[in-house]
Structure 1
């Protein structure tokens, strides 16, 4: 059997599994599947495809692997100048589902001025948008912020980056074992948030540990 994770996979991976007679268990997130569909549809309509996201992330590799033509991966604003041909007429853009919304909107504005026929699909998922909205206010209301999640989690990374840009007393932990007592010296309030894939058990353990060492 072949299990496709939530991040999705390139079409050739699934096709190869089928050719080998393997059972394919597709656990791709429905929102990621929608991105795949957009990419295939726009490619068929003759648009060059660009993905705003982290080049080496599994989700991004799965997206670019939906089509035969080479897609452009834009990790930041500087990549637009470096990677988008100056004479490009038609471009369809999708976004890795866990990207930073503010950065994406800035890139959209630049691309609008650069490409005459731009089809921009803001495919950041709803839970990510809600979390990012929350993290913009949490660091302002609390003296210290703790972001919980795997160091390989893209959406946890975004939450931490936003929190840190607003409140320098922001920390990224995988579990309660990463917490240091001196983070909370002189702190009256602590805000806690977590990446989408962080287990509730881990969140509760971190919360209890913070309550214990700050009591």
Structure 2
């Protein structure tokens, strides 16, 4: 059995930066608070907790006069959180992903121009909620083309459309095309993260060359879920696992090539645990997918 690893997978630059900054802050401060999860990965959150970072679901949970540090997650937050933090006299450590920051800025620009703001994304995702906040709370979140028809848009309504940073490019393109058939004045801005696109392309390429794909990542992670969906669409047997403990030996029976990819919030130590387990299987060996063409 041969184990192939996707060329682009695991921690993206934004997540790696957020994790590093949060760890450094935790080591240097006794009062570090994290609003929500830094990223959608329970193992990362648990490691930060072990370093003393206190997780709160709402800024109101932080005691008045705490004089600590508020860590804003890679998913970002709305402007109201910054204002609340200032009132509590909290030092703000902003680990918002640069791509998410860009999306927040674009949403605000569209809103300031008087456009109806449309965000292509998952309504309940923290990143999307934060972007909505930067639009003045007026943005409409759509998940599928059918949702556009429910907005009751007049053809003369000026519209601005952007995307959650982990959306598939083809899905955003389809939404924009459908919107242009409804509204005459449409401004679009592709806010999809370049790393996300690379990971999705690498995962699909890998899936087409193996008999089994293992997608490693937390089930709350939107980008990991999309990697799983994209790999499965190729017709290759695909399983998402959070840790090596979920790896089923039965999946490996009769498989000559097994591919591994991981979500942007999946730490390297988790990926390595899975690779080691596969290497211990009969004739198991691992290499990068870029060597497939060599």
- 1:212 pairs with 280, 286, 290, which one? 280
Query: 2:53 corresponds to which residue?
Result: none
Aligned length: 215
- 2:163 pairs with 74, 95, 100, which one? 95
Query: 1:83 corresponds to which residue?
Result: 151
- 2:262 pairs with 171, 194, 201, which one? 194
Query: 1:48 corresponds to which residue?
Result: 116
Q: Distance in 2 between matches of 1:45 and 1:86?
A: 17
- Aligned runs of 1:100-115 on 2, under 5 Å? 100-115=168-183
Query: 1:11 corresponds to which residue?
Result: 79
Q: Distance in 2 between matches of 1:150 and 1:214?
A: 28
Q: Distance in 2 between matches of 1:48 and 1:148?
A: 37
Q: Could you report, residue by residue, the CA deviation over 1:4-62 in whole angstroms, capped at 9, with x for unpaired residues?
A: 10000011111111122211111111111111111111111111111100000000000
CA RMSD of aligned residues (A): 1.3
Q: Gaps spanning 5+ residues in structure 2: where?
A: 1-68, 284-294
Query: 1:149 corresponds to which residue?
Result: 217
Secondary structure, aligned partner of 1:8? coil
Query: 1:26 corresponds to which residue?
Result: 94
CA contact (8 A) 1:151 1:174 kept: yes
Secondary structure, aligned partner of 1:33? helix
Secondary structure, aligned partner of 1:192? strand
Secondary structure, aligned partner of 1:83? coil
Larger displacement relative to structure 2 (63-72 or 156-165): 63-72
**How far did residue 168 of structure 1 move?**
4.3
Query: With structure 2 as the length reference, what TM-score do the two structures score?
Result: 0.70
Q: Could you report, residue by residue, the CA deviation over 1:40-86 in whole angstroms, capped at 9, with x for unpaired residues?
A: 11111111111100000000000001132511001111111112524
- Mapped pair 1:122 → 2:190: yes
Q: Could you report, residue by residue, the CA deviation over 1:76-129 in whole angstroms, capped at 9, with x for unpaired residues?
A: 111111125244521111100001222111111111111111111111101000
Higher helix content, 1 or 2: 1
Larger displacement relative to structure 2 (205-214 or 70-79): 205-214
Q: Distance in 2 between matches of 1:143 and 1:88?
A: 51
Query: With structure 1 as the length reference, what TM-score do the two structures score?
Result: 0.95
CA contact (8 A) 2:211 2:236 kept: no
Query: 1:38 corresponds to which residue?
Result: 106
Q: Distance in 2 between matches of 1:214 and 1:173?
A: 21
Runs of 4+ in 1 over 4 A off after TM superposition: none
Q: Distance in 1 between matches of 2:219 and 2:103?
A: 24
